[in-house]
Amino acid sequence: MLSPRENFLRALRHEPTEYTPIATLDAYWGRGGIGWLDSGPPEGGLDGFGVNFVREDSVGMAKMPEPGAFVLKDITEWKKVVTIPDLDAIDWEKAAETTPAPDPAKVGKTSCGWGVFTRLNFLMGFEGALVAMMTEPEAVHEFFDAFTEYRIKYCEKVVKYFKPDILDYFDDIASERSPFISLETYKTMIKPYHKRAFSAIKDLGAIPALHICGRAEDYVEEYIDAGAQAWTMVQPRNDIAGILEKYAGRLCIWDGYDANGPAGYYGATKETIQNEVRRCLNSYGPPLKGYFFDVGAVQYTSEQQDFRAKLQEYVVEACLEWRKEEFERLGIKQQ
């Protein structure tokens, strides 16, 4: 029997697997990187680019740029205003030593930081970034080029010192209804930098994944062409089963849990949560291939954080039960 790690990696390589990979059971998240560079310290504060991040209770204690406190107002002035962090000034060995060791039995996925579109938003705000892309495309390309060089070097550091299997490139280009930008804008303004980053990640021996929240299925063909092997934080606003069927053997899908439905509510019952786990695994699992179940988008306020451990308990229990049933169907003896 293949180990969960090797079985999972086979799926990412679009090779035959012995059983259904389940990210909740077979992967771990978050080892590696210097988080404050991209989103400020845990309690909030300045990131490596001078953007002040604050925690927002209404969106599950997530950190976001302080409203209205834009660092960059004129994209043509970015070289004078924006400071790109010096990665060689960071003690990466110390950071690695103080991080829990990787789990050799599981696949390791970590973030390689925010992408070009999201970083520009952080610096200028959504409106400022979108206007800059329309009115000053040459200056935007200059910034994206410099930022991508920084991001590739960051990936090199993370791979060298933390050794993840998967590097997840975060670039939220969509809302729950649709992408923020047209297909042509993605292809000409953003995709070239995604492609460079994904190529570099592959050259480093890691697997490139693309994190996009919201309804972003319209551009799946472009993500694949850019080199992404998996799309993470995929929400059921997208036709997940249709994507898996259409792009079988070309792209893996990670997550799928309906965090905006009853199973994502604070205090949801065990039955509601576990029914949602089974819905995902039954709808997107066999005979479809390339699906990795996980719960990635559930957000609770500061007063609701006590329920997160209970959510995880219910989810893990349902995943283990589903896997046990699958092993029985396949005649696999659980080790």
Q: Could you tell me the pLDDT band of residue 113, with boundaries at 50, 70 and 90? A: very high
pLDDT of res. 262: 96
Between CA 171 and CA 32 the distance in angstroms is: 18
Q: Could you tell me the pLDDT band of residue 57, with boundaries at 50, 70 and 90? A: confident
The SS3 of residue 302 is helix
Q: Could you tell me the pLDDT band of residue 159, with boundaries at 50, 70 and 90? A: very high
Q: Could you tell me the pLDDT band of residue 335, with boundaries at 50, 70 and 90? A: low
**Structure-block tokens of residue 310:** 């209970």
Q: What pTM was estimated for this model as a whole?
A: 0.95
Is the pLDDT score of 59 beyond 80?
no
Q: Which amino acid is at 245?
A: E
Q: Which amino acid is at 53?
A: F
Is the pLDDT score of 118 beyond 90?
yes
Q: What is the pLDDT of residues 197-248, one digit of tens each?
A: 999 999 999 999 999 999 999 999 999 999 999 999 999 999 999 999 999 9
Residue 209 to residues 215, 224, 241, 252, 321, Cα–Cα distance (Å): 17, 10, 19, 9, 28
Q: What percent of the chain has pLDDT over 90?
A: 85
Overall average pLDDT of the 90-94 stretch: 93
Domain boundaries, the chain: 4-330
Is the pLDDT score of 292 beyond 70?
yes
Q: Could you tell me the pLDDT band of residue 31, with boundaries at 50, 70 and 90? A: low
Q: Does the domain made of 4-330 have the CATH classification 3.20.20.210? A: yes
Overall average pLDDT of the 157-181 stretch: 94
Average pLDDT, whole number, for the chain? 94
Among 54-58, 155-159, 270-274, the minimum mean pLDDT is found in 54-58
pLDDT of res. 32: 66
Is the pLDDT score of 58 beyond 90?
no
